[in-house]
Structure 1
Amino acid sequence: MNPSDELPLAGLRVLELASVLAGPQVGQFLAELGADVLKLEPPAGDVTRTWRTLAEDPATTVTAYFSSANWGKRSQLLDLTIEAGQTALHQLAAAADIVLTSYKPGDAEKLRADYATLSALNPRLIYGHITGYGPTETRAGYDAVLQAETGFMHLNAPGPGQPPQKMPVAIIDLLTAHQLKEGLLTALYRRERTGQGALVQVSLLDSALASLANQAATHLVTGQEPQPLGSGHPSIVPYGTVYTARDGTRLLLAVGADQQFRHLCAVLHRPEWADDARFRRNPDRVAHRAALEELLAERIAEVSGQELLAQLGQLAVPAGAVRTVGEALAHPLAQPMLLPPAPGFPHAGVRTVAFRSSAWPMALSLSAPPALGPE
């Protein structure tokens, strides 16, 4: 038996008309679980084929960015601005299970690639549609703009009054991809019971707002505007602040319980801090954040960071060293998340599926991110 036949989505046929990151991330997710994903690209190809860093080969069409979301797929060029391309799409959609799109509202209808048109040919079709601002807003959605408009950049500033900062990955695109995955899996479950397909619509705006979590709740409950704290936490201290130890180790604490704080003070040979009325309980520490952070920064600068992390680990006090991307990917625990190089692409990749199950195997390998396919 082919190992891919054991995967839970084996036999599922997916057409990917989406481009850039959010939609293609969903396509790779489905491919990793066994689906047959055909990426239908316009004549110029997915725009991320041209997004290169200075370190990359200027001639390649499989850029690092493109490879981040396109493992395990086949590629085919399809010009939907002409009748022949639309006819070809309709033939493919008639036999497909899922279609992934990221058109601005109204554009899919112009290309005869909309849900109404395709579902008339295939009532079991599940159609996933990503927009920037919802099905009635024609404004195009861009991750950085949504980060600005939904509070993420404001909260990600180093501190109050400091310049807002964008996250270093397209976090809103990735959150949207997760929302669409959940919607598609829900629709697949429903189709098993009803035999009917569905339109699943997800916007970058809604996905971002849904992910504000405690920050949104803080505003709704208190009426106050959450303020940027750098990497600090608004309701837990010490949590998120980065300290530099004597040996140059940059480390972060995530002390969420009073007992953990007592252990931290003991390891730092400052047990009196745990009995200080300013720091005894978490609400006290939040109220006296600046004073505690100053004391911690001074004391941690006097000790070995590596030894401190080892001692905290023995006491189950949450803490970790700040790693680079390369260091994170090289860590032994990260190895199962890496896709091995494949023919045509001599580089590793990162899985989008981060869960595992005893009911099916993990896909041990995937075909490489595809070069531009034939027409």
Structure 2
Amino acid sequence: MLEGLLVVELATVLAGPSVGQFLAELGARVVKVEPPAGDVTRSWHRAAENPDDTASYFSAANFGKESVVLDLRDTEAARAAKALAARADILIASFRPGHDARLGLDPETLLLENPGLIVATVSGYGRDSDRAGYDAVIQAESGFMAMNGYPDRPPVKLPVALMDVLAAHHLKEGILLALLDRQRTGKGRHVTISLLDAAVSALANQGSGTLRTGQPPVRMGSAHPNIAPYGTVLQCSDGESILLAVGSSRQFEAVCEALHVPVDAQWRTNAGRVRQRQQLESRLQAAAAGVASDTLMAGLEKCGVPAGRIRHAGDALARSPYMVLEPEGIRQWPAGFRELSPPPDLGAHTELVLAELTDLGGAAIARIIALNTPDA
């Protein structure tokens, strides 16, 4: 899809690099520019990981890329970065506000020098704020943590950097729209997203409910404020757990049929079920405790009730029909996606990329490599 396009990635952690990986999946060539110490996530190993191996966190967003090491504080290295930007179709950046302008890598300067360039930037709070904005902080300030967890316990952050992921998808969509516009006009543009904007836009029904009632969401565990039983987790006789996502009265009646629970008159409407949530869930749980999970799942599926087993991430990945991770890369992509190489070693492509994509001579490239290695 994007074969022949050059992407220069001046972004770290998860949001910006995820966009680079999306574009690599679609066929673009992605050159990741890193500082001498590398993207900070190269050091984010789980306790069970070998610290000498590529960190799984870094791997999550850096398949299919080439790594170039440039210390942008060095004049010649900064010139090399600008030369890459001049050749690029897309540039992804996550600079702190003002830092890009000091380097001459701000959107305005880049578009003057390369009018067809699409500059895609991601920040924590927007270009007008100099606050640092890691995902967990955005979860706290966007309302997500306040409504996540249980009412008798402190707020809990989500176990995935979801605000980074949401922002990455927003930015990817902006880039693809800008590419379509460039086909028509021949001109690039600046597209941008903040983690906070992405998070607030994802409040969805919780946001609209707050605006409608003036009451912010309360922590309810897995329960849904508008629907019941939705998010209800039933533990079966074999110890396995099944989650219900009942969205209609017909589906609720099917759950009762599968569990052999009489439908109480006060449960026949969603409003009644929401009011009587605790009693309802207790009745369903008592019935599920006497049924094996396979039997219950078969009954729910037969009746068309949305329900699923509680699986850990390893189970979910093993069952994915689309992706298989292997030491040499990713295999079994859907049609239209290309196979990706493994995450690159730090600086593995510096010499090759600078020789191919800049007008720097061999001596200048050798100097950059010497000055931009971690041991220099």
Letter in 1 for 2:156: Q
Are 1:294 and 2:282 matched, yes or no?
A: yes
Are 1:29 and 2:22 matched, yes or no?
A: yes
**In the alignment, which residue of structure 2 is the partner of 1:20?**
13
Letter in 2 for 1:76: V
Q: Measure how far apart 1:83 and its partner are.
A: 1.1
**In the alignment, which residue of structure 2 is the partner of 1:117?**
109
**In the alignment, which residue of structure 1 is the partner of 2:321?**
335
Residue number among 235, 242, 245 corresponding to 2:226 in the alignment: 235
Q: Measure how far apart 1:258 and its partner are.
A: 0.8
**SS of the residue aligned with 2:322?**
helix
Q: Measure how far apart 1:189 and its partner are.
A: 1.1
Q: Measure how far apart 1:119 and its partner are.
A: 1.4
**In the alignment, which residue of structure 1 is the partner of 2:91?**
99
Residue by residue over 1:186-245, the C-alpha shift from the partner in whole angstroms, topping out at 9 and shown as x without a partner, is 111111111111111110110000000000000011111211111111111111121211
Are 1:156 and 2:131 matched, yes or no?
A: no
Q: Measure how far apart 1:319 and its partner are.
A: 0.8
Residue number among 207, 212, 215 corresponding to 2:198 in the alignment: 207
Compare 207-216 and 187-196 and name the one that shifted more: 187-196
Letter in 2 for 1:315: C
Change in Cα spacing, 1:59 to 1:173, as seen in structure 2 (3 Å) is same
Q: Measure how far apart 1:311 and its partner are.
A: 1.1
Q: Measure how far apart 1:337 and its partner are.
A: 2.5
Residue by residue over 1:269-291, the C-alpha shift from the partner in whole angstroms, topping out at 9 and shown as x without a partner, is 12x22xx2210011110111111
**In the alignment, which residue of structure 1 is the partner of 2:340?**
366
Q: Show structure 2 runs of 5+ residues with no match.
A: 351-368, 370-376
**In the alignment, which residue of structure 2 is the partner of 1:195?**
186
Letter in 2 for 1:235: N
Contact 1:126 1:184 in 2 (8 A): yes
Contact 1:172 1:207 in 2 (8 A): yes
Are 1:225 and 2:225 matched, yes or no?
A: no
Contact 1:128 1:184 in 2 (8 A): yes
Task: Report the Cα distance in structure 1 between the residues aligned to 2:211 and 2:122, rounded to whole angstroms.
Answer: 27
Residue number among 281, 285, 299 corresponding to 1:311 in the alignment: 299
Task: Report the Cα distance in structure 2 between the residues aligned to 1:28 and 1:361, rounded to whole angstroms.
Answer: 15
**In the alignment, which residue of structure 2 is the partner of 1:3?**
none
Task: Give the share of equivalent positions with the same residue, in percent.
Answer: 50
Are 1:136 and 2:128 matched, yes or no?
A: yes
Task: Report the Cα distance in structure 2 between the residues aligned to 1:337 and 1:302, rounded to whole angstroms.
Answer: 37
Q: How does 1:246-265 map to 2 (within 5 A)?
A: 246-265=237-256
Letter in 2 for 1:324: H
**In the alignment, which residue of structure 1 is the partner of 2:272?**
284
Task: Report the Cα distance in structure 2 between the residues aligned to 1:251 and 1:82, rounded to whole angstroms.
Answer: 56
Contact 1:68 1:349 in 2 (8 A): no
**In the alignment, which residue of structure 1 is the partner of 2:374?**
none
Q: Show structure 1 runs of 5+ residues with no match.
A: 1-7
Residue number among 33, 41, 61 corresponding to 1:40 in the alignment: 33
**TM-score normalised to the size of structure 2?**
0.90
**SS of the residue aligned with 1:309?**
helix
Task: Report the Cα distance in structure 2 between the residues aligned to 1:320 and 1:113, rounded to whole angstroms.
Answer: 48
Contact 1:68 1:350 in 2 (8 A): no
Q: Measure how far apart 1:338 and its partner are.
A: 2.8
Residue by residue over 1:234-269, the C-alpha shift from the partner in whole angstroms, topping out at 9 and shown as x without a partner, is 111111121211111111001111111111111111
**SS of the residue aligned with 2:120?**
strand
Letter in 1 for 2:40: V
Q: Measure how far apart 1:349 and its partner are.
A: 8.5
Contact 1:251 1:305 in 2 (8 A): yes
Residue number among 73, 96, 114 corresponding to 1:81 in the alignment: 73
**TM-score normalised to the size of structure 1?**
0.90
Runs of 4+ displaced beyond 6 Å: none
Q: How does 1:51-66 map to 2 (within 5 A)?
A: 51-60=44-53, 62-66=54-58
Q: How does 1:266-277 map to 2 (within 5 A)?
A: 266-270=257-261, 272-273=262-263, 276-277=264-265
**SS of the residue aligned with 1:105?**
coil
**SS of the residue aligned with 2:265?**
coil
**SS of the residue aligned with 1:201?**
strand
Task: Report the Cα distance in structure 2 between the residues aligned to 1:67 and 1:225, rounded to whole angstroms.
Answer: 37
Q: Measure how far apart 1:339 and its partner are.
A: 4.1
Task: Report the Cα distance in structure 2 between the residues aligned to 1:71 and 1:225, rounded to whole angstroms.
Answer: 40
Contact 1:253 1:320 in 2 (8 A): yes
Aligned length in residues? 349
Task: Report the Cα distance in structure 2 between the residues aligned to 1:154 and 1:304, rounded to whole angstroms.
Answer: 35
Contact 1:90 1:121 in 2 (8 A): no
**In the alignment, which residue of structure 2 is the partner of 1:322?**
310
